[in-house]
Amino acid sequence: MFAARPTIGVAAARTVATAAKAAPAQTRSFSILPRLRPTSLTSTSAVSFFRSPILSQITAAAPAPSLPSDVSATADLVSPSSISRHPALAGFASQIRCGPRATMAYATRLIQKRRHGFLSRVRTKAGRKTLARRRTKGRKRLAY
């Protein structure tokens, strides 16, 4: 007789449990690293910078401020929270800010041979695979 009819407390607990299952769980990101997604300050400006998720939420709600011409000419490509902007690294880290480096632009022939030459290809497993691919393809010059 008692098992046939559930009590009010059990029925209320069941409705609360089903309501909790029906509510979508919100996902939160706990990363403190900035997004590496370039965005522009204004639609007319060609200046871009990397901004953090918090900054992107703030600027999405508010219009972007316009920069003076001297600021836009010297705008940086790295966010203020970046490692290279740390005061301890102000001397040498401010010269190159994580941009692309032209390592092969002014390399001497000796350096090019050291990096891409036949002997450097023979020394590594990936290099031997490169030489084998070039042999099967019929290349006259296998390496630099």
pLDDT tens sequence across 58-92: 555 555 555 555 544 455 555 656 555 666 666 65
Q: Is residue 80 included in any domain, yes or no?
A: no
Report residue 112 CA to chain centroid gap. 30
Q: Is residue 11 included in any domain, yes or no?
A: no
Q: Which residues of 33-71 are buried (b: 16+ CB within 10 A; e: fewer)?
A: ebeeeeeebeeeeeeeebbbeebeeeeeeeeeeeeeeee
Q: Is residue 77 included in any domain, yes or no?
A: no
The rounded mean pLDDT for the chain is 67
Confidence of residue 144 (pLDDT cuts 50, 70, 90): confident
Q: Is residue 5 included in any domain, yes or no?
A: no
pLDDT of 37 over the 90 cut: no
Q: Are 34 and 82 in contact (CB under 8 A)?
A: yes
CATH at residue 131: 1.10.287.3980
Domain hosting 123: range is: 108-144
Q: Is residue 124 included in any domain, yes or no?
A: yes
The average pLDDT across 111-119 equals 94
Q: Are 42 and 66 in contact (CB under 8 A)?
A: yes
**pLDDT at residue 106, rounded to an integer:** 80
Q: Is residue 140 included in any domain, yes or no?
A: yes
Query: Number of folded domains in the chain?
Result: 1
